[in-house]
Every structure is written in structure tokens, then in C-alpha cells.
Amino acid sequence: MIDHDRLFKELIHTFFDEFMALFFPQIYEAIDFNHVVFLSEEVFTDIVEGEKRRVDMLIETRLKEQPALIIVHLEAQAYYQTAFAERMFVYFSRLFEKYRCRILPIAVFSYDAAKEEPDAFRLEFPFMRVLDFQFKTVELRKNNWRDYIKQENPVAAALLSKMGYNEDERVQVKKEFLRMLIRLELDPAKIHLIACFFDTYLILNEAEKRQLHKEITLLHPREEERIMELKTAWEEDAELAGKLKGKIEGKIEGRLEGMIELIRKYMAAHFGESLHDIHDQLAQLTNLELVEQLADRLFRASRPDEARKLVEDTYEAQQKLNRQ
């Protein structure tokens, strides 16, 4: 499962200036980027639904012409939510209650398909408007990728993979991404970050890779050489990272299976066979953190119905993660 939040946080944390310059040039001109502090995450409890909500990113900064503090609240939204605008307002109100300063709310929508997203939340009667809350939005799929390939901006390069393009343009998108990357002349760590982001969302098949290689050979020799050097370097890094990830995942998978087997044996010993029917739910748990929390709570359960409820709640939490 792709960790969309982590990918967007890393990209914007590293290139906050460039992100604002790309999508909000007027705001970019007003911000004093000599004063930028990334604040710790805020976690709020949704009183109605009883769930904890986490604010994606908070950046403390100032305006050039005014000493007043502002907070930039950034939300990266990878899946559709009907009440998203309302959630933005709730976050805004909680943040204002804590910081008591001007807050600039921004939502980045990275759906695979373009949608009509609101940029406001309103409460009104026939006789008066009580609230008109507005926020800035970036709807990536509505942006044509060709409009950004001349940008000398690392965020534009990374986000080409999430912008609007046709299926038959995939090779062209990747080629122009590579050309942008060599023009940027960034350090290897930043190149790796941008390349990993791009390759997460636009993965070429073997036929497309062959076509890309052919098109690269038609470029200017110096440009071709630099692109091939770049591709070779990060493909070697990706291969090494893949091997390391495989080893880590193997260890985690073994630990996960061990924890689930331990839970099964514990329930059989303490509650008999009355809980045998929930073993299928146990088998579908793939999140190690959730399984560890379940084990800790089960050891404190004293009745079969308590144990059943804990397993069912963990299964539901796993299903929610799978849907994200």
C-alpha cells in the first residue's frame, strides 16, 4: 500500500519554497522564507465519530511586510471524502483555537481521476450566512503536464506523475521528467527523493521502457549521456533499496505470523473453541502495529466476548487502512 501522506510530506518539507512558488506565486511573494519552521503534527479527536484525526503538515512562517505570524496548514488528499471541506474547517478552528494567529489552509488533491472539489465550507440560513470558510486548493489531475515541463522547479518535476496525461503519453511524461531532472542540477539525495516520488506513481511496463530508451537516444548526445548516467545511478540505488526492503519485510512478515499464531494459541487456551470463528479475521491482519496492540489488549481481557470485540475492532481498523 502506497504511503501517500509520507511521500507528499517529504516532497513539500524538502521543497516548501518551490511548492509555493509553483502553485501560489502571489502568496510566495508575500512570505518571508527566512523564517520557516515545520511544527510537530497535531492530533485531534473527532467528537462525533470518536476517531483521531491527524493534520498533515503545519509550517510556521511570517510575511515580508508584516511581523505577524502565519501558520500554513497543508493537507494532502489521496482519496475522495464527501465531508472534506467540513473537515478542513474543523482543523482550521482547532488550530486557530491553539495558535490564535492567521492560518492559511491549503489542500492538495492527488486523486487518479479529476473531480470537482469544493474550496469552501458554508453554513447559512435563508435569511443570513453564518459562515463562509475558504481554502486554497491544488487539483493535480486538472493540470496538464505539458504546461509544467519548462519549469525549473523540482516540485513540478516530481508531480508530473500525478498531473493530467493520457495513457499514450506516459513515455513522453517520463522522458520530459528526466530532461527536467538533469536541468535542475540538484544534489544526489534530492534527485533520489524526486525520482522515487515520480516512479511511485508512474511505472512503465517493459514495452514502454524500451520505447523510452529509444527516444532518449534521439536526444542531443550530451543530454542523452547525462540522462543515462542519472538513470543508472538511481536504478542501482533502487535495486539496493529493494533488496534491503525485501529483507526487512521478510523479518516483519515472520514476526507478524508469529504474533498471530501466539494470539490463536492464547485465545484457545483461555477462552476455548468459542472464538474459532474469528480466526479468519485474524488471518487477514497484515499491519504489525495493529497486531501488537491487539495482543497487548487481549492479555488483559477476561471474557470471550471482550476478546471477540477486540479482534473484530482490529479487523475493522485493518479494513479502513486497506481502503485508504
User: Strand, helix or coil at 121?
Assistant: strand
Cβ(162)–Cβ(140) below 8 Å: yes
In a domain, 90, yes or no: yes
Q: What does the buried/exposed string (b/e) look like for 76-111 if buried means 16 or more CB atoms within 10 Å of the residue's CB?
A: bbbeeeeebbebbbbbbeebeeebeeebbbbbbbbb
Choosing from 88, 109, 142, the residue where a domain stops is 142
Cβ(95)–Cβ(71) below 8 Å: yes
Query: At how many degrees (to 10) do helices 206-216 and 221-271 cross?
Result: 160
**Res. 252: pLDDT tops 80:** no
pLDDT at 307: 81
Choosing from 82, 110, 142, the residue where a domain stops is 142
Tell me: do 5 and 134 sit in the same domain.
Answer: yes
**Res. 65: pLDDT tops 60:** yes
In a domain, 285, yes or no: yes
**Res. 244: pLDDT tops 70:** no
pLDDT in tens, 276-300: 778 888 888 888 778 877 877 776 6
In a domain, 222, yes or no: no
Tell me: do 2 and 138 sit in the same domain.
Answer: yes
- Residue ranges making up the domain that contains 281: 255-323
Tell me: do 4 and 125 sit in the same domain.
Answer: yes
Number of structural domains, the chain?
2
In a domain, 313, yes or no: yes
pLDDT at 118: 87
Read off the pLDDT band of 214 (50, 70, 90).
Answer: very high
Choosing from 78, 112, 142, the residue where a domain stops is 142
Rounded Cα distance between 183 and 172, Å, is 17
pLDDT at 15: 94
Range picked from 54-63, 145-154, 179-188, 244-253 for highest mean pLDDT: 145-154
Neighbours of 230 (CB within 10 A): 16
In a domain, 199, yes or no: no
Rounded Cα distance between 129 and 132, Å, is 7
In a domain, 295, yes or no: yes
In a domain, 247, yes or no: no
**Res. 81: pLDDT tops 70:** yes
Q: Which of the two residues, 229 and 140, has the higher pLDDT score?
A: 140
Among 23-37, 184-198, 206-220, name the one with the lowest average pLDDT. 184-198
In a domain, 194, yes or no: no
Burial (CB count <10 Å: 0-12, 13-18, 19+), residue 41:
exposed
